[in-house]
């Protein structure tokens, strides 16, 4: 079985995010990058499926990203993925969801696949569109926000639970399919040291847009990010202090009128 | 030595044949034991010979560690009794084989007489010691002798019983000899035997026949011993002395350094018995199951499945039962069918229960090194199998990504000091003291209060210091003790690179874990610096008059020794002297204090793990402080502070405050801005 896992490099959840001066992105100097946490569930589910199905099953990681992404691809390989495709092209600065979808669809077609796992969304821009767009281009089913995944005995279909508001929804799908993974699907493994050592020798096939047959970034011209800007600073807490309750109330009313301007 | 005209008797001939056979068998057993050791991996314990010989004199000859407990006096008597009695036995056996043989011929009459006297008196003392030991074992059931393996108990009784029988027989032999050859052994050389001969005088028996029967039974029991002992816990008679000789003369707080150079390696850490070093295997021969380790083990004492000596006991049994496989394969490791120590011999629950507090190693009379073994087994589980309690994974990931065990961004490491504007190493370049804040001081709100107190004290005393700020990373101590040597080494090497950029005289830490790590583990990676704990520096500043000790109106508290400060590094007096410099502070002491202090439960990565088995260690320790009537608990470790505060919360005692020594030295001014 050919299993593909999509991976994205995102700022660490604990990183202090600051927008750069031009509003074109975030300041990256003091930031650590990690594998998108939801993608970790995807990697783990891909590996578990491989272990379950056995035979000549293979897990391939596909990542669109800068040179620095290679380090995180290695982490996925250390966890147990077999090889990887790294789409890395200077023309791909910040690919939008249509661009990523078009590229991924091409890679998936080239690689061939039975099942694709990815995170339900990347925690950087929270768009949650790439898996849908990729599935639409390939004209295959997609099941999103999966918390349970069970493959059928003949490996031709799968039953999944999707986490929806207030409950789970059980769905059945034919393969090939794209599945986006939610927290709770599994507990991603910690790469063992032999895994880390082996990963150093595993193949990462680097592809440019030209390698994939694109002259320029595909899927453009649909939507575009204009500007990034930080949230206005949250108001500061002010304690009203007075000897008498009624003086405090008067002061509070005054503040609400004059400073907060809500009355 | 043959005297003219004497001929070997038939009896002597038979004894010679039996004795020679037993000696040859014993020789084979020794060879087996040595060959099993050689299966182990190399470890250099062949340096510092003078100190090693000295160790044997002090810890074997004078039984210095054995005698730290009253029960040890019994061992002291049995040990020396055994030496004298063995000499006497040898003399007797050789005398039966070689007519006319006696030590008298070799060492002279006076020395022989003294030996005879020692033998005579020690025999009696040994019997008394054994009776007391048996009574103690069976009627008082001391904590340290509780073992879950009934075979171990039977073994102890068998050996002690046989030793008693041997001594009674010895008196029988000597008593009959005195009767047969009056005047041959003077009363002064054998008062007890003379007394026994007096008792036997009225008996109706053939003296020479009785003498012969006693001698034969005695010697056969001795021969049985020679063959039986190496396969019982009494193997320590053979193992303990070399184990003391080859003991760790370095810091007990240093774990072995793993080598990750070999990228084709498939396995890291230890999962099979043959992967231990020869010294670690020798440890197994040295254990007598005295259980002193168990009686001080925080895991065992809070009803967790771990007891250090039970693990050693089972490992020795495992080594013995695997001996043929180990010896036939040469190095014995790597075979796919090889039994795994975890879970075949010991359980994951045991391995993870250890706080690495080191109390077991501090107590162990033959210097067995338990903690390294537990960490070696953890290393295998973590590095090779990636199998460990689930709550450890985020800790590892946080350390990898953000260089601290908490899930907090690394770039916020110096935020605790934003408003107090501390000197940063990168700005200063060179300074006297590098203040190593550590993860707790940097990220934990409680630890930050200690860090702020320390920074304020350094300022007050006019110390030229700096912090590394965001350049500082987790020291790696916790990852290392959790078995993640790979992560630990990444952190250590990165920190060393940072430290090398700056010029400073000394490093001061507020955390005993960072202190131990920087002081005794970083040198393994080529970084040597003068590392001091804040209790040392603060005391120095008070003594030199640079820092004024504060005064309080009635501050009563008990001081808790952190394992990595007190037991591992011997910093016992400094924090106490510092506390004594404070006016109005009444210092109380735990019963378990100093090097015998009881762990707070946070060590060895336990801080980051669930404590679901047995009682909580910190709560036991809190109960101990409450029973002392302490109004405050003083300590010098941020992790101890956390554990005590959690324990006090569990006991709903918010009236008791936990204070770090730096907070006390600050006086009543709050450390908060």
Residue B670 has pLDDT above 70, yes or no: no
d(CA B473, CA B413): 9
Question: What is the pLDDT, as a whole number, of residue B336?
Answer: 63
> C-alpha angle with apex B393: B392 to B394, nearest 5 degrees?
100
Mutation for testing the A interface, residue in B383, B403, B484, B494 having most A CBs under 10 Å: B383
- Strand pairing partners for A34? A10
Mutation to test the B interface, candidates A14, A74, A78, most B Cβ within 10 Å: A14
Confirm if B607 and B304 have CB atoms less than 8 A apart. no
Instruction: Evaluate if residue A30 carries a pLDDT over 90.
Output: no
| pLDDT recorded at residue B524 | 96
A147-151, B229-233, B435-439, B570-574: range with lowest mean pLDDT: B229-233
Please tell me the predicted confidence (pLDDT) of residue B330: 53
The residue behind tokens 């320590």 is B236
**CA trace torsion B502, B508, B510, B511 (10° rounding):** 80
Q: What is the pLDDT of residues B314-352, one digit of tens each?
A: 999 999 999 999 998 655 455 667 899 999 899 999 999
Query: What single-letter DSSP state applies at residue B153?
Result: H
Across residues B193-215, what is the average pLDDT?
Answer: 88
Per-residue confidence (pLDDT) for residue B5, from 0 to 100: 44
Taking every pair of C-alpha atoms in chain A, what is the biggest distance, in angstroms?
Answer: 79
Backbone angles phi, psi at B632, to 5 degrees: -135, 160
Cα dihedral B48, B54, B59, B65, rounded to 10, equals -80
Residue numbers in B near A187 (CB within 8 A): 390, 393
Q: Provide, rounded to the nearest whole percent, the portion of chain A with pLDDT above 90.
A: 73
Q: What is the mean pLDDT of residues B288-307?
A: 95
B263 band by pLDDT with thresholds 50, 70 and 90:
confident
CATH class of the structural domain B403-541: alpha beta
Q: Please give the C-alpha separations between residue B304 and each of B6, B110, B258, B347, in angstroms, as whole numbers.
A: 66, 57, 29, 12
B48 min Cα distance to partner chain A (Å): 36
CB atoms within 10 A of CB B515: 32
Residues A30-40 as b or e (16 or more Cβ within 10 Å = b): ebbbbbbebbb
Least confident of A238-242, B47-51, B558-562, B641-645: A238-242
> Strands A33-35 and A58-64: what pairing?
unpaired
Instruction: List the single residue in B260, B264, B401 with the smallest CB-CB distance to A32.
Output: B401
Is the bond leading into B417 cis (omega within 30 degrees of zero)?
A: no
Taking CA B342 as the corner, what is the angle to CA B341 and CA B343, rounded to the nearest 5 degrees?
115
A204 touches A70 (CB < 8 A): yes
Instruction: For residue B137, name the pLDDT band (cuts at 50, 70, 90).
Output: confident
Separation of alpha carbons B76 and A46, rounded Å: 64
Decide yes or no: CATH 1.10.3470 for domain B273-384: no
Query: What are the boundaries of each domain within chain A?
Result: 2-207, 234-263
Of A64-68, A85-89, B106-110, B575-579, where does mean pLDDT reach its minimum?
Answer: B106-110
Note whether A212 contacts B: Cβ–Cβ < 8 A.
no
Locate the chain B residue with the closest alpha carbon to A32.
Answer: B401
B383 touches chain A (CB under 8 A): yes
Round to whole Å and give the CA distance between B197 and B177: 8
Indicate whether B477 pLDDT > 70: yes
- Residue B435: the pLDDT is 98
Helices B534-543 and B573-580 sit at what angle, rounded to 10 degrees? 40
Point out which residues pair with A74 in neighbouring strands.
none
pLDDT band at B7 (very low <50, low <70, confident <90, very high): confident
Comparing B197-211, B373-387, B434-448, B544-558, which segment has the lowest mean pLDDT? B197-211
> Which of A93 and B6 is assigned the larger pLDDT?
A93
Handedness of CA B271, B274, B276, B282 (dihedral sign): positive
- Nearest Cβ partner for B411 among A30, A34, A191: A30
More confident residue, B518 or B332: B518
Architecture of the CATH domain A2-207: 3-Layer(aba) Sandwich (3.40)
Band of pLDDT at residue B1, cut at 50, 70 and 90: very low
pLDDT tens per residue across span B34-65: 999 999 999 999 999 999 999 999 999 999 99
Same fold, B403-541 and B547-665: yes
- For chain A, count helices (H), then strands (E): 6, 11
What stretch of H or E contains B505? strand B503-509
Q: Residue B611's CB: how many other CB atoms inside 10 A?
A: 17
Report whether B504 contacts B458 (CB < 8 A): no
Mean pLDDT (whole number) for A63-80: 96
pLDDT of residue A230: 84
pTM of the predicted protein model: 0.92
Q: What's the pLDDT score for residue B152?
A: 78
Cβ–Cβ gap B384/A192 under 8 Å: yes
Q: Considering chain B, what is the average pLDDT of its residues?
A: 92
Comparing C-alpha atoms, which of A173, A9, A40 is closest to residue A118? A40
* Token reading at A16: 């202090």
Domain parsing of chain B, residue ranges:
10-39+70-231, 273-384, 403-541, 547-665
Cα–Cα nearest to B380, from A90, A192, A33: A192
Contacts of A47 in chain B (CB under 8 A): none
- Per-residue confidence band for B567, with pLDDT thresholds at 50, 70 and 90: very high
Residue B87 predicted with pLDDT over 70: yes
Report the pLDDT averaged over residues B218-227: 93
- Give me B208's structure tokens: 């020479």
Q: Please tell me which of the candidates A14, A190, A195 has its beta carbon nearest to residue B402.
A: A14
- What residues of chain B lie within 8 A of the CB of A17, using their CB? none
The verdict on a CB contact (< 8 Å) between A193 and B384 is yes
- CATH topology for B547-665 is Rossmann fold (3.40.50)
Mean pLDDT of A130-134: 96
Residue B669 pLDDT level (bands cut at 50, 70, 90):
low
For the stretch B582-630, pLDDT in tens is 999 999 999 999 999 999 999 999 999 999 999 999 999 999 999 999 8
Q: pLDDT category, B151, cuts 50, 70, 90?
A: confident
A187 → closest Cβ in B390, B401, B409: B390
Q: What is the mean pLDDT of residues A100-119?
A: 96
State the pLDDT at residue B517.
Answer: 97
Tally helices (H) and strands (E) across chain B: 29, 8
Of A12, A189, A193, the CB nearest to B401: A12
């Amino acid at each position: 079985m050919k299993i593909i896992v999509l991976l994205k490099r995102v700022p660490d959840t604990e990183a202090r995010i600051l927008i750069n001066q031009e509003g074109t992105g975030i300041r990256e100097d003091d930031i650590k990058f990690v594998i998108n946490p939801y993608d970790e569930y995807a990697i783990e589910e891909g590996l578990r499926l491989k272990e379950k199905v056995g035979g000549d099953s293979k897990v391939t990681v596909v990542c669109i990203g800068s040179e620095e992404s290679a380090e995180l691809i290695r982490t996925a390989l250390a966890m147990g993925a077999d090889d990887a495709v790294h789409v890395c092209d200077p023309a791909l600065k910040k690919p939008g969801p249509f661009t990523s979808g078009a590229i991924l669809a091409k890679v998936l077609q080239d690689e061939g696949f039975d099942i694709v796992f990815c995170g339900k969304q990347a925690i950087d821009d929270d768009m949650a569109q790439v898996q849908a767009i990729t599935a639409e281009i390939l004209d295959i089913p997609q099941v999103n926000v999966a918390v349970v995944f069970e493959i059928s005995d003949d490996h031709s279909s799968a039953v999944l639970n999707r986490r929806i508001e207030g409950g789970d929804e059980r769905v059945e799908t034919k393969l090939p399919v794209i599945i986006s993974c939610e927290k709770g699907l599994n507990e991603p493994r910690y790469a063992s040291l032999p895994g880390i050592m082996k990963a150093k020798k595993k193949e990462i096939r680097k592809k440019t847009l030209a390698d994939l047959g694109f002259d320029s970034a595909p899927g453009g011209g649909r939507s575009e990010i204009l500007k990034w800007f930080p949230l206005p600073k949250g108001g500061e807490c002010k304690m009203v202090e007075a000897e008498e309750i009624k003086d405090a109330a008067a002061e509070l009313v005054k503040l609400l009128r004059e400073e907060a301007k809500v009355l | 030595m043959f005297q003219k005209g004497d001929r070997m008797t038939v009896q002597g001939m038979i004894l010679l044949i039996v004795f020679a056979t037993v000696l040859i068998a014993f020789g084979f057993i020794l060879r087996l034991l040595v060959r099993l050791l050689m299966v182990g991996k190399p470890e250099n314990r062949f340096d510092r010979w003078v100190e090693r010989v000295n160790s044997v004199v002090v810890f074997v000859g004078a039984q210095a560690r054995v005698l730290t407990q009253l029960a040890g006096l019994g061992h002291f008597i049995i040990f020396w009794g055994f030496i004298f009695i063995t000499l006497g036995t040898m003399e007797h056996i050789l005398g039966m084989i070689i007519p006319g043989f006696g030590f008298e011929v070799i060492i002279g009459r006076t020395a022989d007489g003294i030996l005879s006297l020692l033998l005579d008196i020690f025999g009696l003392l040994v019997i008394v010691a054994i009776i007391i030991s048996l009574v103690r074992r069976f009627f008082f059931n001391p904590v340290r002798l509780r073992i879950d393996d009934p075979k171990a108990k039977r073994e102890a009784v068998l050996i002690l019983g046989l030793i008693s029988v041997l001594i009674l027989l010895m008196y029988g032999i000597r008593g009959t000899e005195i009767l047969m050859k009056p005047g041959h052994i003077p009363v002064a050389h054998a008062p007890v035997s003379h007394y026994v001969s007096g008792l036997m005088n009225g008996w109706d028996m053939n003296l020479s026949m009785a003498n012969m029967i006693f001698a034969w039974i005695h010697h056969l029991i001795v021969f049985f011993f020679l063959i039986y002992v190496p396969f019982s816990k009494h193997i320590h008679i053979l193992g303990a002395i070399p184990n003391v000789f080859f003991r760790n003369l370095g810091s007990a707080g240093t774990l072995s350094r793993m080598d990750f150079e070999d990228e084709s390696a498939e396995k890291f850490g230890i999962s099979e018995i043959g992967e231990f070093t020869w010294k670690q295997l020798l440890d197994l021969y040295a254990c007598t199951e005295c259980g002193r380790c168990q009686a001080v083990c925080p895991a065992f004492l809070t009803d967790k499945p771990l007891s250090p000596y039970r693990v050693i006991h089972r490992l020795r049994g495992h080594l013995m039962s695997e001996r043929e496989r180990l010896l036939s394969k040469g190095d014995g490791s790597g075979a796919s069918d090889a039994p795994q120590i975890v879970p075949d011999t010991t359980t994951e629950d045991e391995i993870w229960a250890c706080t690495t507090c080191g109390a077991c190693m501090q107590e162990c009379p033959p210097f067995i090194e338990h903690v390294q073994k537990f960490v070696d087994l953890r290393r295998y589980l973590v590095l090779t199998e990636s199998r460990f309690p689930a709550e450890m994974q985020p800790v590892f990931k946080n350390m990898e990504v953000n260089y601290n065990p908490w899930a907090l961004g690394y770039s916020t490491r110096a935020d605790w000091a934003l408003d107090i504007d501390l000197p940063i190493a990168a700005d200063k370049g060179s300074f006297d003291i590098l203040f190593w804040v550590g993860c707790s001081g940097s990220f934990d709100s409680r630890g930050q209060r200690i860090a702020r107190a320390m920074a304020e004290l350094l300022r007050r005393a006019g110390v030229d210091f700096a912090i590394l700020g965001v350049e500082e990373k987790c020291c790696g101590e916790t990852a290392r003790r959790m078995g993640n040597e790979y992560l630990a080494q990444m952190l250590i090497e990165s920190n060393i690179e940072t430290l090398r950029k700056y010029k400073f005289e000394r490093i001061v830490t507020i955390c005993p874990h960072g202190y131990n790590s920087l002081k005794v583990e970083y040198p393994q990676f080529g970084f040597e610096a003068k590392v001091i704990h804040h209790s040392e520096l603060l005391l120095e500043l008070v003594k030199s008059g640079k820092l004024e000790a504060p005064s309080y109106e009635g501050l009563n508290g008990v001081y808790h020794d952190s394992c990595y400060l007190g037991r591992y590094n011997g910093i016992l007096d400094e924090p106490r002297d510092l506390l004594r410099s404070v006016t109005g502070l009444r210092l109380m002491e735990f019963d378990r204090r100093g090097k015998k202090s009881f762990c707070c439960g946070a060590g060895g990565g336990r801080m980051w793990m669930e404590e679901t088995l047995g009682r909580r260690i910190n709560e036991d320790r809190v109960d101990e402080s409450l029973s002392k009537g302490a109004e405050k608990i003083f300590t010098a470790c941020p992790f101890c502070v956390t554990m005590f505060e959690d324990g006090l919360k569990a006991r709903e005692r918010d009236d008791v405050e936990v204070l770090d020594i730096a907070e006390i030295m600050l006086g009543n001014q709050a450390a908060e801005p």
